[in-house]
């Protein structure tokens, strides 16, 4: 595994691979790698000649109240995991490398942001889209890999690639789950034992939503109501339980086409999120 | 000369050229070509294997009060000029091709915009930077060509390429001038005979500014005052006569480094602009 730190070096390296006809699978991360990241690497490894991973805690996507400095970092462990996972090139720039001057231009995300997690994180997706534009221009990827756990981020990346005609294929990777259905997350360790036993309720509620649709329900409010009822049985506080079109993330009066059911629940020391994508009519593939 | 209309076709064509190791010089225009555009083509022709020109009147860079519909168009004549100038690929998309959906993301220009012509055109440079990002991703240029007549646009493109790590070389091309120094412009035909005889005052005033700097003047206000005095002798109304750092376009108390002196004068039926770049100390090349 090669590790590079500068924009110049990664750009030169990536251009060289592409010039030789190699495909590049790119996995952008903020480090502190877990199984979710490694499932992206595994998929990228299978699809491409070269796998590039970036580890960069992007200051621009943290709001004033959010703790950029306290974001967990463990570069040494990440390096080992990346190498074991088959990453060819690890890009680990500093903030001064990615933001070399006070920004003249940024990417401003106009849609798909004022719902779900984006509602409470103003400017967050501008930071995500801006740093990804930089990273894409540096790593010349054939394909980019994102986890569907953060379905809103995938929707924003989809808009970014399409609107700007970036010649990159977006590969959303299914959320990894524990045996009882709980979506894997670094935050799960912050659940108490009793909260951990309640936590599968998120995925069960989503599945119940899908079941109602399968049975013919097309009214989002009826489905949301039932999901809330299930989530209210936990000790957590519901942040949202919503249904939108996907990836446009627009509200619907009657469900049709590709939709997302998404929930967020605040437990005492961990905020859990989860979602599923459902295609209506249901004769299509059920997960994105 | 090949003419293509769709995003898909131009992207495929350009990628193919680059894959074969060819360099691409790209000249983005809004059409209604004049000598200024052709000087960009001439330079691009000399520097690159392939010359790509786009003709696209970009609705996003016109404000509500500005007349997008009345912008002059003559595609047939443009085609002939482009072919005669040695353009290999002419890209002439429609608005529905460049903006295929309501924009999810745009490029937002945070700096270099609230001065000179940008001051009175809110959102104009967002439109410019957004469409250029799209066009650059479609045409994969090695080099892009812009006229220094619009020095502020060059400054914004410089910020766009640097901030987003676009691997494209920016080639600013000197303003073309009539024998008496007047910058060439389609708008010059709208000057009355007496205004036409006064119009060289813009360039003369800029040169007088450069002369004062050469003589040791470092106070921008003193220089601006003298420029204004010269411009006030015309029948036009001064819109601005300003001095900034270049390409940062920031105000300076004492002149040093690379600076721009820029003027805009409104005549009865034509608004003329002009500028020069001066390097301080003057032992460097005087024009960008």
Measured between beta carbons, the chain A residues lying within 8 angstroms of B15 are: 167
Question: Could you tell me the pLDDT band of residue B101, with boundaries at 50, 70 and 90?
Answer: confident
How much of chain A, in percent, has pLDDT values that exceed 90?
Answer: 85
Known binding residue B61? Answer is yes
Flag whether pLDDT at A222 surpasses 70: yes
Q: Are residues B64 and B160 in the same domain?
A: yes
Instruction: Please write the tens of the pLDDT for every residue from A81-91.
Output: 999 999 999 99
Does A118 share its domain with A157? Answer: yes
pLDDT digits over A56-79, tens only?
999 999 888 777 888 888 999 999
Known active-site residue B37: yes
Percent of chain A residues past pLDDT 70, beyond the cut: 98
Q: Rounded to the nearest 10 degrees, how much is the dihedral formed by the CA atoms of B22, B162, A138, B21?
A: 10
Asked which of A71-75, A251-255, B54-58 is least confident by mean pLDDT, the reply is A71-75
Give the one of A103, A126, A167 whose C-beta lies nearest to B15's C-beta.
A167
Is residue B108 within 8 angstroms of chain A, CB to CB?
A: yes
User: Is residue A287 situated within a structural domain?
Assistant: no
d(CA A174, CA A31): 19
For residue range A163-215, list pLDDT tens digits in order: 999 999 999 999 999 999 999 987 888 899 999 999 999 999 999 999 999 99
Of A104, A111, A112, the CB nearest to B163: A104
Active-site annotation holder among A27, A37, A145, A255: A37
Domain assignment present for A237: yes
Whether A73 and A15 map to the same domain: the answer is: yes
pLDDT at A160 over 90: yes
Q: What whole-number distance in Å separates Cα of residue A28 and Cα of residue A20? A: 23
What per-residue confidence (pLDDT) applies to A282? 61
**Residue A202: CATH number of its domain:** 3.30.1300.10
- Predicted confidence at residue A288, as pLDDT, reads 44
Task: Kindly list the distances between the CA atom of residue B107 and the CA atoms of A130, B57, B141, B162, B234, in Å, as whole numbers in the listed order.
Answer: 9, 18, 19, 14, 39
| Helix/strand/coil percentages in chain B, nearest 5 | 40, 20, 35
Taking residues A112-137, what's their average pLDDT? 92
A35 in a known ligand binding site: yes
Domain termination residue (choose one: B173, B199, B220):
B173
pLDDT of residue A255 exceeding 60: yes
Q: Is residue A50 part of a domain?
A: yes
Does one domain contain both B157 and B80? yes
In a domain, residue A35? The reply is yes
* pLDDT tens digit sequence for B150-172: 999 999 999 999 999 999 999 99
What the block records as the tokens of A182 is 């709980």
In a domain, A72, yes or no: yes
* Terminal C-alpha separation, chain A: 31
- Answer yes or no: are the C-beta atoms of A83 and A1 closer than 8 Å: yes
Residues A17 and A135 in one domain: yes
Above 70 in pLDDT, residue B272? yes
- Looking at the domain assignment, is residue A263 inside a domain? yes
Distances (CA, A) of A285 to A17, A170, A268, B5: 35, 18, 36, 35
Q: Which of B173, B203, B232 is the last residue of a domain?
A: B173
Same domain, yes or no: A154 and A191: no
Query: Which residues in B lie closer than 8 A to residue A137 (C-beta atoms)?
Result: 164-167
**Which of the two residues, A285 and A261, has the higher pLDDT score?**
A261
- By Cβ distance, the residue of B109, B137, B138 closest to A105 is B109
Q: Please state, in angstroms and rounded to a whole number, the distance separating the CA atoms of residues B194 and B191.
A: 8
Mean pLDDT for the stretch of residues B176-194:
92
Q: Using alpha carbons, select from B184, B251, B256 the residue that is nearest to residue B221.
A: B251
Provide the pLDDT confidence category of residue A239 given band limits of 50, 70 and 90: very high
Determine the Cα–Cα distance for residues B145 and B170; give it in Å rounded to an integer: 6
pLDDT value for A283:
52
Q: Residue A278 has which token pair?
A: 């459902």
If asked whether residues A143 and A224 sit together in one domain, one would say: no
Going by the DSSP 8-state scheme, the letter that residue B63 receives in this structure is -
Find the largest Cα–Cα distance for chain B: 57
How close B196 comes to chain A (CA, Å)? 37
Separation of alpha carbons B93 and B17, rounded Å = 20
Q: What is the pLDDT of residue A121?
A: 82
Q: Using only the alpha carbons of chain A, give its radius of gyration.
A: 19
- Are B160 and B248 contacting, i.e. CB atoms less than 8 angstroms apart? no
SS3 A95: helix
User: Chain B partners of A109 at a C-beta cutoff of 8 Å?
Assistant: 104-105
Flag whether A181 is in a domain.
Answer: no
pLDDT in tens, B116-128: 888 878 889 999 9
Write the ipTM. 0.91
**Whole-number mean pLDDT of chain B?**
94
Question: Is residue B282 situated within a structural domain?
Answer: no
Same domain, B67 and B115: yes
CB distance B210 to B276 below 8 Å: yes
Give the number of domains in chain A: 2
Same domain, residue pair A69 and A134: yes
Name the A residues in 117-176 with CB < 8 Å from any B CB: 126, 129, 133-134, 137-138, 156, 159-160, 162-167
The residue out of A146, A173, A200 marking a domain boundary is: A173
CA distance A137 to A3: 18
Give the DSSP letter string of B126-153.
Answer: HHHHHHHHHHHHHH--SEEEEEGGGHHH
Structural domain of residue A245, as residue ranges? Answer: 186-276
B67 & B166 share domain = yes
Q: What is the model's pLDDT at position B288?
A: 44
Does residue A147 sit in the same domain as residue A12? yes
Indicate whether B91 pLDDT > 70: yes
Q: Mark whether B149 and B237 lie in a shared domain.
A: no
């Amino acid at each position: 595994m090669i590790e590079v730190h500068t924009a110049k070096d990664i750009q030169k390296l990536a251009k060289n691979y592409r010039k030789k006809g190699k495909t590049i699978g790119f996995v952008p991360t903020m480090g502190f790698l877990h199984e979710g990241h490694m499932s992206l690497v595994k998929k990228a490894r299978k699809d491409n000649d070269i796998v590039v991973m970036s580890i960069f805690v992007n200051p621009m996507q943290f709001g004033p109240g959010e703790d950029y400095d306290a974001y967990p970092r463990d570069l040494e462990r990440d390096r080992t995991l990346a190498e074991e996972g088959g990453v060819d090139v690890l890009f680990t720039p500093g903030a001064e490398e990615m933001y070399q001057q006070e920004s003249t231009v940024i990417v401003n995300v106009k849609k798909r942001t004022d719902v779900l997690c984006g509602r409470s994180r103003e400017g967050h997706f501008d930071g995500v889209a801006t740093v990804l534009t930089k990273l894409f221009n540096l790593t010349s990827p054939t394909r980019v890999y994102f986890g569907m756990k953060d379905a809103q981020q995938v929707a924003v990346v989809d808009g970014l690639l399409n609107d700007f005609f970036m010649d990159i294929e977006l590969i959303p990777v299914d959320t990894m789950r524990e045996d009882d259905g709980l979506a894997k997350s670094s935050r799960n360790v912050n659940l108490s034992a009793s909260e951990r036993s309640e936590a599968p309720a998120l995925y069960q509620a989503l599945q119940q939503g899908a079941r109602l649709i399968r049975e013919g329900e097309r009214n989002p409010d009826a489905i949301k109501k039932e999901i809330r009822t299930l989530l209210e049985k936990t000790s957590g506080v519901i942040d949202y339980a919503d249904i939108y079109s996907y990836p446009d993330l627009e509200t619907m009066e009657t469900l049709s086409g590709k939709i997302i059911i998404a929930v967020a629940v605040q437990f005492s020391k961990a905020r859990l999120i989860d979602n599923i994508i459902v295609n209506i009519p249901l004769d299509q593939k059920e997960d994105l």
